[in-house]
Each structure stands twice: as structure tokens, then as C-alpha cells.
Structure 1
Amino acid sequence: MQKNNDSDISDRVYEAAAIPELWPEVCDRISREIGAYSTAVITLAPGAPLRWTSSACIAEHMETYEKSGLADRSERPKRGLEKAPNFFLRDVDLFTTKELTTELVRRELLEPIGLAWEMGAAFMEPSGSLFIFSQLMKTECGPFSEKAVARMNQLKPDLARAAFLATRLGLREAQSIAQSLSLVGLASAVIGDDGSVVATNEEFEALAPQVSTGANDRLIINNPNAQALYASALAQIKIGFAAPVQSIPVVSRDDLKRLIVHLMPIRRAARDVFQRSCALAVITPVGETGSTDMRVICGLFDLTKTEAIVAQKIASGLSIEEVAIVMRISRETVRSHLKSVFHKTGAKRQVQLVRLLVGLRSVGEHVTR
């Protein structure tokens, strides 16, 4: 029953990613899943105005939040990214009881409207944008339970990918394939039910030869490991399952950009926009703007906190034995976490993982110098 419920929610969030006017209904569906009063999706991009969509019951208060400037003054996203980037946390996980009594958002907005308790997650994407899931609970009912946090972290990978696409679409209605790909603003390709590329935008065409269309209009990635991961993920999506790796690293030689290929299922009514199509491939040039750090990388590949630490240590040059000593765990436990990191990133060996993580990070460092 749980698996079917997960599939229903995942299908609905991917549907809303392509048809943003469905987000209020999807936000309500997510809220019911954990007993929240409301859910909102918020985007903060460098040099751009705040954008959001939410449950209808909270829309008026979201307008107040947008106009108040609280988004720029709040410590919540910053603390979330510092404590556990890309994971759902409660306000009581971020602040002490004393801090909560004077915390800005709670004092100026949430307590006056009777929704004092919040749970949320902040995700950084490679372009430097930040998108946030925020869920509120009535003052007399909170705080959120640890069970609710665990449930949201189970749904997190699909929520993050759908929100990524939704923020690129501007949380607005998309009327056609051409308009949709134009709104995305990143290299994109619509993948048909038969696996062929049925539409692309100019940004996609500019990526050749790294990513291009080949024989029989198939999407070709000029990297064998990435191509194999793409083929495997697409095969799973075509039969209605979630692929284990949907954010695929493309590590290049020479001076070509390092890329991430996000493969997102097209579900339910979204197929009315992307007709006879099963997936949307969105290609992100890592570190294009802003600095790219490990929080971005871990978010892209859905690493757990422990997996992220292991990956960081390996990328810094430590051996498995040294990581075990530093983390005070056994070598077998390090190997187990490393095996999971390999699976999620598509890396086959430690040298590939180090090249991926250090390479992606170095791109961001170079851009910001």
C-alpha cells in the first residue's frame, strides 16, 4: 500500500511540474500525507523576485510573506543548508526553544495567523537558485512529528526534481512543447514513448557533441557511463517505474563543460502538454552561475548525510582506512556507504567518483574567481 501511495504522489508532482496550475492541489495532497495545514514551494534566485506556489488555504498569507521581505531576512534556509542540506527538518531542529520565541518569521508571520510550526527543506541547484518546500501546522497541533519528517524525506527525491523543473517553468502555465522548453531556459529535450527525441530547444542543440541526437533520433551522451545510466533510467520510466539514478553526471575531458542530465518522467495530465512523450531531459551546466559546493552535488544525487560525508572524505584524498578512522566507523561500513554513493552517482570506481566531485566543485570555484 505504501509503495502505491508513493507512486501516486510522485506521479502527481511530476504532473504539476509540467502543468503548474495543478500545484495547489498537489500541495494539499502532500499536506494530507503528513497532517500539515499547508504546503508551499518557494524559489529564491539571484537577482530575481521571489516566486511561489502553495495550497489555496495559505495563498493570501504567502502574498503577505512575498511583500514583507521576510525571505531575505530569515535565517531558516541558511540554517537548514548548514545543518542538513537537501533534507526536511523541523523548526525545532533548527532553533532552540529560546530562539524560537523571538525568531523573525515565527514572530512576525506565523504566530499571528495561528500557524506557528514549520517543517521544510532547502535545495540548491547548480545555477545558484534555492528552492524551498515549506509546510505549516496549526499552533495547537504542533510541532511536526519525527514520523512526518521521515515521510517527507522518503518523498524528497521526486519532490526535488519536480520542483527543479517547476521553478524553471516559472510556476506558470505551459501551453505547448515549444513554449515549455523555452520557459525552462536550460538545454532540454522531450523524449517520446518510443525513446526518440521529439523536441529540443536551442540550448540543447548548442551542447553537441557532448549531448546530441543520433541515429533514429536517439539522445546520445558522449560518455559511455552516462549513456548507460541514461538508457537504464529511460527503460524504467517507460514501464512506469522510478529509475534509481535520474540525475546523471557527464564528466568531460578537455575544456568542455561538466553537465548533469536530469531525466524527469512525464505523468498523467502532463502528457497533454508533452503529447506521446514519457520523459523530459533537462541538462544543467554545473557551476554556470554562483559557486557550486558539495551541498549541490549531494542534493543532485540524493546522498544521505553519512554518504555525503564519506564522499567528501574520499574526494579530499583520504583512503577508506583513513575515512574509517576519522569517522570512527569500520572499514566495512565505509565500503557499504561508498557502494551506495557509486550507485547513486553512476561512478564505477573511486577515481571516477573523485574526478566527478572534485571536477564539479572546481568548475564552481573557477566561475566565482
Structure 2
Amino acid sequence: MIVELTDRIYEAAFVPELWPGVLDQLSTVSNSAAASLVLFRDRAPPKFIATDLIAPVLEAFDAANGWQKSEEVQLMFSMTPPSAFIYDADYFPPEALESNHLRLERTRPLGIGGQVGSFVFMPTGEMALFSTERWRHNDRPSGEDMARLNALRPHLARAGLVASRLGLERARGTVSAMETMGLPAAVLSSAGRVLVANPLLEAMPAIFRPAALGRMTIGDSDADLLFQKCVEAMVGHGEFSVRSIPLQAQEGRPPLIIHLLPLHRSAHDIFSGGDILMAVTALSASSMVPSPTLLTSLFDLTPAEARLASSLSQGSTLKDAAANSNITVKTARTYLERIFAKTGTRQQSQLVALLKGADRFPVL
């Protein structure tokens, strides 16, 4: 079910009418009552999609201007965002939860209690909130519930990036979708051949270079190795979990993240038979986007790896970072090797430079 759900998550990014079914499955795998996706972008009113049980609650909340009134929402943008799904009672102060009368007056009669959610800050400045509603009789999630949600989090983050750029509107074709996203992008075939690239990507010839048989290479050798492995795995030739690839900053250019999204079912048709969408974002210094959060949201790190990476980015030694994470130094070294493999870095100084890169550069 998880594999099928992953495919459907990416499909819903381009076909938003599929999100309710995806969110239903998200509820099922986490033993929840309902689920929703809310997209925040600048000062515009949030957009949301939800399962049937919770949709009327969100509609009433929105009509009552609840996003501006909710202390929880305000705290969400001011507190350090976690790198995993969280149970609301473990994160927000009790008084903030109890003061949210607009929600509680509508959820309690439905038998709904707390929430398990994850807010993902995008490199482009948007924020996606994925939330599941707990039944009151089964309020606190189990470790297994949280593990299943966190395994899906990187996929939800990448799909949320596309959904937010498209404004939760259905993609109307290859050219239209690539223009609307406003990101450098290309569509690849199952053989890794470039079918179409938009002008924003074509304007980056030093980074994305043509290769034999219509394929593409990345100018940075470490990033290219990850890219080629990822493309090969995504078309069914091997196992490789990474689908977001960091590219180190260079003179006059910020660090970049290359995201690869599979195009299945309806998305495959929208993109004229393409199999992979490649989209590129820049690490930005937006106040909404702390750089460690970007890395942990989009680079497939586990929560434990994310905590270690975040601690290292703040200047801690590996020994101190291990102590902060309540793990042994030996375990920390194992996690660090995995982080290197997922980020294309080879040493701790490179990793820290990548994490801190977002604080030095403007939006692309």
C-alpha cells in the first residue's frame, strides 16, 4: 500500500482532484480519522484540500478567518519547524491548543481529538501543512503510525512543492505546467533522454549539459553521480532512495536543489509520455525557510539523520551532536555516512557549508 500511495502522491501534485483519495489513504496508514493539505503562500489566503469528514471544519474555519486568529498557526511560523511529523500535544503549548475554539467546537462533536502534522517549508518560500486528525479514543499516535508518516514525508514535500507552485490547479499540459511552476525544469524519458526543457533550465548551460543519446549530465561530478543513479533507479533498474540532489554554491550562484518526480498515470499523460520531471530550486534566505529545515524536508533524511545534520550545521562537533541526539558517536558516524551519500558531500565541512548556504544568497 505504501508503494502505491507514494505513486499517487506524485500524481496528485499535478492532478489535485486526486488529493482527497491520497489523504484518505494517509489517514488509513496512520490510523487517523481524516487528513488535509493546506498551502500557505506569502500574504495570500491559504488553499486547502481535505477528506470528507474534516473538509466542512476547514471551510468553516476559513470562513471565520481562523488562519489569522489561530494562535497555533501564528506559532507555526515563529517556532523552529521540526524535521518530522509531530503530535500537536508534544509541540504546541496546551493553552494554544485549548484556545483554538474555532476548531475544537467543530471537531469534538465529530469524535476528533488531536492532530499529527508536518509543516514543510519550501525553497521557494511557500509552506505546506500535511495534517491528520486523530480519533479521540485513539488520540496519541503509536510509534508505527509516526514511522509510516515519516517514511512518506519526503515524497509529500516534493509533491507539495509542485502543488504550491501550481496553486493546487490541475496541470494543463507540458508547456503550461512548466511555465506555471516558474522553476527551471525538464521532462525526461524512461531512458533518461531529455524530451523538453524550459527556457529557465536552458539558460543554465554550465550546470546542465547535453550528453550522448539526448541525455543530460550535471556539471558537478558528485551531483551528477547522484543524478544518474537516481534516474536509473526511477525507471526501474535499481534501488536508490534519493530524489532530491544538492548542488554546491559557486561564484555568483546560490546552492541549488535538483528534485526528481516520477510521472505516473495521469501525470504521465499530462507530460506527453514523459517519465520523470526534473525541477530546480535555489536555497533562499527567506525568513520562512531555515536552511536545515530545507535539507531535512527535501533530501530524504530520516528524523534521526535530520537531527544530527541540524546540530552539525549549528557548529557542534560530531561528539557533541551525538550527545544532543542521545546516540553514540559510533551511531552518529553511521548516520553521517548516510547523510553524505544522500547529499553528495564527502566531508563534514562540505555538509555544513551546504546547510548554511541558504543564509547567504537571494532567491533565484
**TM-score normalised by length of structure 2:** 0.88
Taking the TM superposition and a 5 Å limit, the aligned residue runs for 1:209-358 are 209-239=206-236, 243-287=240-284, 289-290=286-287, 292-293=289-290, 294-324=292-322, 329-358=327-356
Q: Deviations over 1:10-54 (max 9, x none)?
A: 111111112222111211122222232221111001132211122
Distance between the aligned counterparts of 2:350 and 2:153, measured in 1? 26
CA contact (8 A) 2:77 2:288 kept: no
CA contact (8 A) 1:28 1:55 kept: yes
Aligned counterpart in structure 2 of residue 24 of structure 1, from 20, 23, 40: 20
Q: Which residue in 1 is equivalent to 2:45?
A: 49
Residue 115 (structure 2) pairs with residue 93 (structure 1): no
Cα distance, 1:63–1:208 mapped onto 2, change above 3 Å: farther
Comparing 86-95 with 228-237, greater Cα deviation is found at 86-95
Aligned counterpart in structure 1 of residue 6 of structure 2, from 7, 10, 13: 10
Distance between the aligned counterparts of 2:179 and 2:15, measured in 1? 15
Aligned counterpart in structure 1 of residue 202 of structure 2, from 197, 202, 205: 205
Aligned counterpart in structure 1 of residue 177 of structure 2, from 180, 184, 189: 180
Q: Unaligned stretches of 5+ in structure 2?
A: none
Distance between the aligned counterparts of 1:212 and 1:66, measured in 2? 46
CA contact (8 A) 1:85 1:299 kept: no
Q: Deviations over 1:332-361 (max 9, x none)?
A: 232122112112212122232122122233
Give, in angstroms, the shift of residue 110 of structure 1.
2.8
CA contact (8 A) 1:118 1:144 kept: no
Give, in angstroms, the shift of residue 84 of structure 1.
5.6
Local SS of the residue matching 2:131: strand
Distance between the aligned counterparts of 1:105 and 1:121, measured in 2? 21
Letter in 2 for 1:39: A
Comparing 285-294 with 126-135, greater Cα deviation is found at 285-294
CA contact (8 A) 1:246 1:263 kept: yes
Q: Deviations over 1:65-118 (max 9, x none)?
A: 222222233343545984662311122222466654333454354335543332
Comparing 298-307 with 220-229, greater Cα deviation is found at 298-307
- Fraction of identical pairs, as percent: 29
Q: Which residue in 1 is equivalent to 2:131?
A: 134
CA contact (8 A) 1:79 1:94 kept: no
Local SS of the residue matching 2:119: strand
Letter in 2 for 1:29: Q
Give, in angstroms, the shift of residue 303 of structure 1.
2.9
Comparing 71-80 with 177-186, greater Cα deviation is found at 71-80
Q: Unaligned stretches of 5+ in structure 1?
A: none
Q: Deviations over 1:243-295 (max 9, x none)?
A: 32111011132112321001111122321212322111110011064454222
Comparing 121-130 with 264-273, greater Cα deviation is found at 264-273
Give, in angstroms, the shift of residue 237 of structure 1.
0.3
Cα distance, 1:162–1:328 mapped onto 2, change above 3 Å: closer
Comparing 339-348 with 325-334, greater Cα deviation is found at 325-334
CA contact (8 A) 1:210 1:222 kept: yes
Taking the TM superposition and a 5 Å limit, the aligned residue runs for 1:114-153 are 114-153=111-150
Distance between the aligned counterparts of 2:139 and 2:332, measured in 1? 37
Distance between the aligned counterparts of 1:327 and 1:130, measured in 2? 26
Cα distance, 1:145–1:96 mapped onto 2, change above 3 Å: farther
Give, in angstroms, the shift of residue 232 of structure 1.
0.4
Letter in 1 for 2:30: I
Letter in 2 for 1:245: V
Give, in angstroms, the shift of residue 174 of structure 1.
1.7
- CA-based RMSD of the aligned residues comes to 2.8
Distance between the aligned counterparts of 2:102 and 2:144, measured in 1? 24
Residue 172 (structure 2) pairs with residue 166 (structure 1): no
Distance between the aligned counterparts of 1:185 and 1:152, measured in 2? 29
Give, in angstroms, the shift of residue 316 of structure 1.
4.3
Q: Which residue in 1 is equivalent to 2:188?
A: 191
Q: Which residue in 2 is equivalent to 1:360?
A: 358
Letter in 2 for 1:50: P
Distance between the aligned counterparts of 2:55 and 2:164, measured in 1? 17
Residue 62 (structure 2) pairs with residue 66 (structure 1): yes
Taking the TM superposition and a 5 Å limit, the aligned residue runs for 1:30-45 are 30-45=26-41
CA contact (8 A) 1:106 1:116 kept: no
Q: Deviations over 1:108-135 (max 9, x none)?
A: 5433554333221111111221100111
**TM-score normalised by length of structure 1:** 0.87
Local SS of the residue matching 1:170: coil
Cα distance, 1:110–1:326 mapped onto 2, change above 3 Å: closer
How many residues get paired? 361
Letter in 1 for 2:200: E
